[in-house]
């Protein structure tokens, strides 16, 4: 996924594995289905560890580090990967919605409602 493409849409069958090269700051959004994301190895106490995260429909994950990720569809899934340029748009939109909801309701809005994009 290059910076010029903007986004990458994937349809994964149940059990399918797809390896994707992503840029730092990209956003992974699951439209439907369930999948497991395996991130590049990380170091913890001078050891390499595998980092994995399950994602379900309508969940998103910010990919802070670039590199190869592996997507394993636990059931048929629809996935959208947004480049960092598009990610910043979603973050701005999330902040705007958070402020608007706070003004309308007179209460603070938890950023957990907006996911990691806020």
What sign for the dihedral angle of Cα 83, 85, 88, 92? negative
Q: What is the 3-state secondary structure (H, E, C) of 76-109?
A: CEEEEEECHHHHHHHHHHHHHHHHHHHHHHCCCC
What whole-number distance in Å separates Cα of residue 30 and Cα of residue 61?
9
Q: Which residues pair with 38 in a beta bridge?
A: 52, 70
Report domain extents, the chain. Answer: 7-107
Summary mean pLDDT of the chain: 81
Mean pLDDT on 39-65:
88
Mean pLDDT on 48-73:
91
DSSP structural state of residue 59: -
Task: Please report the pLDDT score of residue 112 as a whole number.
Answer: 45
Backbone angles phi, psi at 66, to 5 degrees: -85, 170
For residue 53, how many other CB atoms are within 10 A of its CB? 12
pTM of model > 0.95: no
7-107: which CATH topology?
A: Jelly Rolls (2.60.120)
Among the listed residues 117, 1, 10, the one whose alpha carbon sits nearest the alpha carbon of residue 73:
10
């Amino acid at each position: 996924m290059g910076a010029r493409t903007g986004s990458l849409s994937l349809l994964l069958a149940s059990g399918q594995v797809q390896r994707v090269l992503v840029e730092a700051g990209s956003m992974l959004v699951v439209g439907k289905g369930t999948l497991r994301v395996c991130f590049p190895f990380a170091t913890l106490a001078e050891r390499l560890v595998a980092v994995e995260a399950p994602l379900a429909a309508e969940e998103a994950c910010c990919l802070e580090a670039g590199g190869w990720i592996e997507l394993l569809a636990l059931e048929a899934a629809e996935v959208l990967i947004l480049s960092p340029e598009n990610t910043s748009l979603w973050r701005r939109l999330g902040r705007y919605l958070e402020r608007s909801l706070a003004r309308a309701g007179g209460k603070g809005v938890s950023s957990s409602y907006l996911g990691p994009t806020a």
